[in-house]
Structures are given as structure tokens and as C-alpha cells.
Amino acid sequence: MVVVPISSEAIDEATAAVQAPVEATLPASWRPLGQLTYDERAPIFQAAQNGDTEALRQVLWSLALEPERGAKLLDVPTLIRRNLIEAHTDPRNGLVRKLTETQCEMVRADLLASCTGTPLERLLVDRIVTCWLAAYLADGSAAVGGQYASSSAEYYLRRQDRAHRRFLQSLEALARVQRLMRPGPLLAMAQLNIAHAGSKQLNITTP
Amino acid sequence: MAWETRQRGGRYYTRSQRQGGQVVHVYVGGGERGEYAAVADAIAREQREAERAEHTQERRQRDAAEAQLTAWYAVVDAHLHQALTAAGYHHHKRGEWRRRRGSSTHQQ
């Protein structure tokens, strides 16, 4: 997807148009973007990126209606995962695309369940899921790529190698953060008894 | 693949094939037989070209998606680096992360 910067004037104009109490003038064909399929949504996003004020107005209207859904639609790792799936699967096979997305969500949920849920951990989990997907798709491409000329087969194998390396490194990063950020003995202790006032004797009980 | 005109006259369709590292011309025939082979070869050539174009387009799309992942991967790495540095760790000789001396708190 080519991202074209939208001028601040266009954004101001569209924002003002959305904020103005002109609901009656909204085109009847508009539906919140979350209710549209990806294929219906993509051209609207593309037009908004190209500076089409009407499309931008629709995007901002939809984001104002459903901010959470809007945030999800504009979520970078989700967008990258969607682009990876689109690049590797047959556009006519919606089932495979949907199943792969669902599989990603399952892997993500599993990983998040083992985390304390800090923003950094969530970011690293998203990276793991995205790298896992890239490795999974690269495995499939490499298997099919063997039928092509040797230069193509090499290309697929190199990409598979890169994808696996990134996946392992992203796993390692999360493990490292969890190890380093785990509360140390002083913070994890359950009980601290001082023998008596002024004494230097400390009795520490750890869980 | 080409039509050749022999000295005796008449046009003959031949195919170029690689045999043992050498390109050889294989005689197919003239007349209807040659025409039929020429059309069949043209269709096969078009199919191969279409497949090649599709394959190139696929590769381009996959490369673009991978480039997005690579860029975002580096951004996450930068966030990770900043978070660990802020939490009192330093990257020891580009290897493991170690707690800086005097830093005893565990926080994010």
C-alpha cells in the first residue's frame, strides 16, 4: 500500500465537516467502515490517502462513530499481517485468508495469556505473531518455490531463512524482557521481619 | 521456433531445443502440420509469459509486505531498546542486557 501524506488543510476541512451538525446531509450509502468488507474498505482508505476529501470525511465519520474499531483497523501489526496474508494467498480463497487471520488471533491470545500484559510485552507479542505468520507463509512459499528455476528456489529459501531468524529473535526478545522485568528477590519477598528495634538481623521470607 | 525457407523451396517450421548444452533446431514440418505446431507453440509461449508476469507480480507484492514487516520490526527493536535502557539496563558488548550498577528497581 502506498501511503500518500494528506495535507493538513484537507484533514481540517474534513474534520470540520464531520464535527458540524450536518448528519442529515450524510450520503445514504455511507456505512461505518467496520461493517464493510476489506475489499469495500480498501478503496475508501486509498482515496482518503490520495487526498479525496469525501473519502477522508467518511473515514473520519466512521472513526468518530466507532473509535475502538477504527483503532483496530489502523493497527499497524494487523495491517502488516493482512498484507502478508494477501501477498501469499489466492485472492479468490477467502476461507484460507479468514482461517489464517483466525489462527493469528489464537496464537496472539495464547501468548498474551502467558504475559503480565504490559504495553511492551503486548508489542513484542504482536511482533512474534507477525513474524510467526511470515515464517509460516514463507515455509509454504519455499515448498512451492522448489518447482521454479533454481534462482527462484534460492530466493524463496533465503526469504524462509530470514523469516525464521526474525521469528526466533522476536521470541528471544520477549523471553528476555520477561526475565529482566520479573520482580527481583527484594520486591518478591512475602515477609520481612526485623528481629528487634535497632537490630541488624533481618528475617526474609520469599514466596 | 521459426519458419525456415529451404533451398528446394517451401517453408518449414522448426523448434529450437537445448540438447546437452547445445541449441539444436528440430524439424517439425511444413504445411498444416507446421501451422498447427506454430500456433500451439505461440499459445504455450503466451501462457509461459503470463505465468512469469504473474509470478513477478506475486514476488513484488510479497517483497513489499516483507519490507513493511522489516521496517516495523526495527521500530519495535528501538522501543525495546529504549524501554530496557529506561528500566536501568544496558546492552553489554552488543550481546546480553545487564542491569546497570546501582540500579535496583524493576520497573517498566
To test the contact with chain A by mutation, choose from B56, B60, B73 the residue with the greatest count of A C-beta atoms within 10 A, namely B73
Mean pLDDT of A25-32: 78
Chain A partners within 8 Å of B68 (Cβ): 79-80, 83
pLDDT reading at A191 higher than 80: no
Please enumerate in sequence order all residues whose Cβ is within 8 A of that of A182, keeping only pairs 6 or more positions apart, or say none: B106
Q: Where is pLDDT greater, at B105 or A69?
A: A69
pLDDT reading at A197 higher than 50: yes
Burial class (CB in 10 A: 0-12, 13-18, 19+), A128: buried
* Predicted confidence (pLDDT) per residue in B31-49, tens digit: 888 899 999 999 999 999 9
Chain B partners within 8 Å of A186 (Cβ): 104
| Low-confidence winner among A65-69, A133-137, A141-145, B49-53 (lowest mean pLDDT) | A65-69
Angstrom distance (rounded) from CA B85 to CA B97: 9
Decide: pTM greater than 0.80: no
Angstrom distance (rounded) from CA B45 to CA A142: 26
Beta-carbon separation of B106 and A83 below 8 A? no
* Predicted confidence (pLDDT) per residue in A151-184, tens digit: 778 888 999 999 999 999 999 999 988 888 776 5
pLDDT number for residue A5: 54
pLDDT number for residue A186: 47
User: Quick one: which of B11, B9, B6 has its CA closest to B37?
Assistant: B11
Beta-carbon separation of A131 and B58 below 8 A? no
Edge-to-edge strand order for the sheet containing B11-19?
B2-5, B11-19, B22-30
- For chain B, the domains span 2-99
Chain B partners within 8 Å of A148 (Cβ): 55
